[in-house]
A and B are shown apart, each in its own frame.
Chain A
């Protein structure tokens, strides 16, 4: 599915760390890696140098791993330029890092990360780097909704990420608590929750098993964002991979936006995947 992977790098350290995820994925998929740096107007010399150094380091690592790699440096507006490159090269998935200032904006509107996610014709993996001690994630948390869009690509991406690091995958579904008028919230044991596992999640687990990925799953009632971060913190997960938000601006204002909340509070690195492949 992923034959050409693009990693966008800039002068910030987190972009280099994000690119390392792309590097490992390229290795697992046998894909060609494009390391691209877009120099914006007015960029300082030192920033240019830092970005170029990052590209060089990644290049060396890719070559050491035997990955086909190409470096692309352009000037202009990052979103537009990356979009051009992606179309021109036929990129399957692009990796970019989210910046802290993006996360602090409501619904990260108008940010490079958001625009890449919206405008690129290929799949996009937005990476939020927060912890630099867990270099190869051993335990990956996959929060899933009851209905999973682009199931096959999400399963493929997860399986390949788990495969390249030899990780165990934990599927987690924060479900709405069951309530009855006279009883209030009902308590269900994990065994009882298991019987209510949504079909899509069962299917996702089956996909993982087919990819021979070690997997565990569980449901827990509660607010999605808080449950995800508490789950990740309490079980010391190394990486969270979740789907991009499908909520509209209005819906986000009214009901909140779990993806945005997890982006802010994540205790470990986070990848938000916007899949665009139909299999």
Chain B
């Protein structure tokens, strides 16, 4: 039993109130017990805590250890520049934290937009007198007064109504006004006609109601609660970064422990081992990766904005590329939301009947033709336009109207035509045909028998199977002003309207199918129309599973889960409130879900989905604030273009991860050589940072701007098992490209030493000129090899020449920056001072270039072999 089932007297008894409302004292008491009638945001982790968390993840902890060791070394061995290094590492931690925070940050304004839908003041009866109070002070038991234009402040049970009509759009998404009444209703509370819900607006009429739920406990509050409390968790990319950092941490610890022990066994000093430990950490951690990921996502979001997809969080850019299911609305997204009359049908195929059908379409209509333009609801406008073009303008006084509502699914007007009082009705066949006793056949009223009914139903289904939205029309002759207009009506015929699909949609759907992305259409239309349209646009090829809203409500989770696993599925006659359940079940099954929405009540589903997509043109502010992405043109094809961009970004992130790891290997090997053999350290820790946070950054970022490869939308969506840092990536960096690059650096180092007559085992001081030149050559060798590596990393399988050597201009800008920075480090006194380098002869560069050529050629050969194997 719910409040909608009760009589007025029972309502008063249950809420312990009366017609004269609550007393001021009782209202005050209830306010202290039930709280203010307001929308509040769910408790969330404060922004400051979220920022601080960026300093405690695995990668950060590893770097903190490195910084701590550096500071400790400064204490043990002052004057070796370890304090500068420690501070530099802390700087890296801050840079990474800021960039990661930018990635995750999002201003949450959906609750603020929801609050705007509630009124500031409300008229109540307190102690028998009407008064106006701030809406936030309304309490359960308050008797409120509703009149035209008022916003409803709280969920209230109506006790008096006078032609009360409300717009329930914020709750149901239906913009048609709904008539309300005070009689007890036996159905569900949410569907009840005697409840005025908070956030809805009184369109006409007036009424009195008793408040029974306030603030966050109203239906509106429920939407706010879900919108603010539902958490989607980490994005796929964030999860991948967490996994990658753990692998790096594991490798750093493993390598550190193994070589630290070897160093001890072969008699290295504690200090040498200490330097080694810091070196391993700094070398293995790709310090520039997180800033580059953030910048690459930012560039990606700008490219998407140019394609009319506005991204609201950076990580969503990549998440979009990983979606496996898109739940999409039909009207306006797959179709143009531009209704046109496609076909008419009358039982007798007679012109007179057709004209009368058009008269009804013209008169039972609220669309207008003003200043050369049709104005009104798309369906009504299409009917009005078609009728006007066929029969011209009509003059008939409208006496009254019973508006359309979603429950009656019909509209009726009473007009005076040539002195006769006539009733005209249009609506869904299942709601109009039962009102008709006759049909107009050859200008005569003919009694509707079983055969005729069957014929009409068959015609109705045939039109629906063509993907048309079908309306039926009837009229009645009213002998007296009291005659019931919707009784013993005369059936006239059917009109099929089409909302043409957007021309680019079939291709976009084909692309999705090739990309292994399932599309689920969720529409308010009937299942036959929905299936026909799905077939027309290529969404369904066989006989898709079509579930209508009323069946959906009855289905348990298990059954729905089974249905959702079907290849082709369509939800018809659905309202937005059902979307969240569909999204939740899909997510529970491990799918990555994108969902479209425009209404206030779409907000929880938009929040729950991995990617919530709001409509830019028709979307409400609440939907736009909740979504991760806004479609500026409301077009489904734009989603698919954005998915393609998202997939490309993930591929590109993987490309620059290989690029960074290759140099990390080249930075690590000198430390292993240093521990295993009696040689000076070939590369200092500051020089490692010069590569990771200096020369590598812009070329890495340029890799993030690579265009999508041809087959990016021909692959299945990646699975959660497919890691960013998988065995292929690691082996390519650690066993193939990295060793070549390490050889380049070490060759440079020993070449300089040998040229100057250095003997094996001879140790050199950190400020020895020869030593500084040798480490500079090692650094230069790595940087030169990285120039070739950036080309090598542009694709996984295709030759660079096949994807276009010059197709990514940013690569060349990145290389120019890389070389300029290296020249600064090698030849400028400031560069020398910061990175402990010393100028080397220009010929040295020429000595190192063959390594770069070799790396490039080796990678091209690998790609050639791999692509031919496939």
**A→B interface (CB under 8 Å):** 11-14, 16, 46, 50, 54, 57, 99-101, 130-136, 138, 181-185, 187, 189-190, 216, 218, 220, 222, 226, 229-230, 233-234, 236, 261, 265, 267-268
What total of A-B pairs shows CB separation below 8 Å? 118
Interface residues of B in 436-464 (CB under 8 A from A): none
Is the CB–CB distance between A133 and B33 below 8 Å? no
Is the CB–CB distance between B30 and A226 below 8 Å? no
| B3 touches which of A50, A135, A236 (Cβ 8 Å) | A135
Is the CB–CB distance between B222 and A233 below 8 Å? yes
Is the CB–CB distance between B242 and A184 below 8 Å? yes
Interface residues of B in 341-372 (CB under 8 A from A): none
The 6 closest A-B pairs by CB, nearest first: A136-B1, A133-B3, A133-B212, A132-B212, A131-B217, A132-B140
Is the CB–CB distance between A236 and B29 below 8 Å? no
Is the CB–CB distance between B2 and A187 below 8 Å? no
CB-CB under 8 A from A12, the residues of chain B are: 29, 33
Is the CB–CB distance between A187 and B720 below 8 Å? yes
A152 smallest CB distance to B (angstroms): 28
Q: Is B655 among interface residues, defined by CB-CB distance under 8 A?
A: no
Known: A185-B239, A267-B221. A190 touches B229 (CB 8 A): no
Known: A100-B33, A134-B2. A233 touches B15 (CB 8 A): no
A110 smallest CB distance to B (angstroms): 18
CB-CB under 8 A from A46, the residues of chain B are: 25
A-B contact pairs, 18 of them (CB 8 A): A13-B33, A99-B33, A131-B217, A132-B141, A133-B2, A133-B189, A133-B212, A135-B1, A136-B1, A181-B246, A182-B243, A182-B247, A185-B239, A187-B720, A190-B557, A216-B557, A267-B225, A268-B217
Name the residue of chain B whose CB is nearest to the CB of A177.
Answer: B233
Bound form: Cα–Cα A135–B15 in Å: 10
Name the residue of chain B whose CB is nearest to the CB of A20.
Answer: B14
CB-CB under 8 A from A16, the residues of chain B are: 16
CB-CB under 8 A from B225, the residues of chain A are: 229-230, 233, 265, 267
Bound form: Cα–Cα A265–B44 in Å: 12
Bound form: Cα–Cα A23–B289 in Å: 64
Is the CB–CB distance between B246 and A133 below 8 Å? no
Known: A133-B189, A181-B246, A190-B588. A230 touches B32 (CB 8 A): no
Bound form: Cα–Cα A195–B14 in Å: 44
Known: A181-B246, A230-B230. A133 touches B155 (CB 8 A): yes
Interface residues of B in 7-46 (CB under 8 A from A): 13-16, 25-26, 29-30, 32-35, 42-43
Interface residues of B in 209-224 (CB under 8 A from A): 212-213, 216-217, 221-222
Bound form: Cα–Cα A187–B338 in Å: 43
Name the residue of chain A whose CB is nearest to the CB of B40.
Answer: A265
Bound form: Cα–Cα A274–B689 in Å: 60
Q: For chain B, what secondary structure do more than half of its interface residues adopt (helix, strand, loop), or is it mixed?
A: helix
Bound form: Cα–Cα A192–B613 in Å: 30
Is the CB–CB distance between B226 and A230 below 8 Å? yes
Q: Is B157 among interface residues, defined by CB-CB distance under 8 A?
A: yes
Is the CB–CB distance between B15 and A189 below 8 Å? no
A181 smallest CB distance to B (angstroms): 6
Name the residue of chain A whose CB is nearest to the CB of B219.
Answer: A236
A191 smallest CB distance to B (angstroms): 8
Bound form: Cα–Cα A16–B14 in Å: 10
Q: Is B526 among interface residues, defined by CB-CB distance under 8 A?
A: no
Is the CB–CB distance between B250 and A182 below 8 Å? yes
CB-CB under 8 A from B212, the residues of chain A are: 131-133
Task: Identify 8 new A-B residue pairs, CB closer than 8 A, beyond the known A133-B195, A134-B2, A183-B243.
Answer: A12-B29, A131-B217, A135-B3, A182-B250, A190-B588, A226-B229, A234-B580, A267-B221
Q: Is B589 among interface residues, defined by CB-CB distance under 8 A?
A: yes
Q: Is B190 among interface residues, defined by CB-CB distance under 8 A?
A: yes
Q: Is B604 among interface residues, defined by CB-CB distance under 8 A?
A: yes
CB-CB under 8 A from A183, the residues of chain B are: 243
Q: Is B590 among interface residues, defined by CB-CB distance under 8 A?
A: yes
Is the CB–CB distance between A101 and B32 below 8 Å? yes
Is the CB–CB distance between A135 and B14 below 8 Å? yes
Bound form: Cα–Cα A238–B3 in Å: 12
A263 smallest CB distance to B (angstroms): 13
A68 smallest CB distance to B (angstroms): 23
Bound form: Cα–Cα A236–B553 in Å: 13
CB-CB under 8 A from A182, the residues of chain B are: 243, 246-247, 250
Is the CB–CB distance between B229 and A230 below 8 Å? yes
**B→A interface (CB under 8 Å):** 1-4, 6, 13-16, 25-26, 29-30, 32-35, 42-43, 140-141, 155, 157, 189-190, 195, 212-213, 216-217, 221-222, 225-226, 229-231, 233-234, 239, 242-243, 246-247, 250, 556-557, 561, 580-581, 584, 588-590, 604, 720
CB-CB under 8 A from B35, the residues of chain A are: 100
Bound form: Cα–Cα A54–B29 in Å: 15
Known: A182-B246, A229-B229, A267-B221. A134 touches B33 (CB 8 A): no
Known: A99-B33, A234-B584, A267-B216. A13 touches B16 (CB 8 A): yes
| A189 touches which of B25, B217, B588 (Cβ 8 Å) | B588
Is the CB–CB distance between B222 and A267 below 8 Å? yes
Name the residue of chain B whose CB is nearest to the CB of A15.
Answer: B33
Bound form: Cα–Cα A186–B331 in Å: 37
CB-CB under 8 A from B243, the residues of chain A are: 182-184
Name the residue of chain A whose CB is nearest to the CB of B588.
Answer: A190
| B557 touches which of A14, A136, A218 (Cβ 8 Å) | A218
CB-CB under 8 A from B230, the residues of chain A are: 230, 234
A37 smallest CB distance to B (angstroms): 15
Is the CB–CB distance between B190 and A236 below 8 Å? yes
A105 smallest CB distance to B (angstroms): 14
Bound form: Cα–Cα A135–B234 in Å: 39
A134 smallest CB distance to B (angstroms): 6
A273 smallest CB distance to B (angstroms): 22
A8 smallest CB distance to B (angstroms): 15
The winner among B15, B33, B155, B233 for most chain A CB atoms within 10 A is B33
Is the CB–CB distance between B157 and A133 below 8 Å? yes
Name the residue of chain B whose CB is nearest to the CB of A186.
Answer: B720
| A132 touches which of B3, B221, B247 (Cβ 8 Å) | B3
Is the CB–CB distance between A11 and B217 below 8 Å? no
Is the CB–CB distance between B33 and A234 below 8 Å? no
Bound form: Cα–Cα A226–B2 in Å: 26
Bound form: Cα–Cα A12–B25 in Å: 12
Name the residue of chain B whose CB is nearest to the CB of A189.
Answer: B589
Name the residue of chain A whose CB is nearest to the CB of B229.
Answer: A230
CB-CB under 8 A from A236, the residues of chain B are: 190, 222
Bound form: Cα–Cα A138–B189 in Å: 11
CB-CB under 8 A from B2, the residues of chain A are: 133-136, 138
Bound form: Cα–Cα A135–B229 in Å: 26
B568 smallest CB distance to A (angstroms): 21
Is the CB–CB distance between B557 and A265 below 8 Å? no
Bound form: Cα–Cα A46–B556 in Å: 50
| A13 touches which of B6, B30, B589, B604 (Cβ 8 Å) | B30
Is the CB–CB distance between B34 and A130 below 8 Å? yes
Is the CB–CB distance between B213 and A13 below 8 Å? no
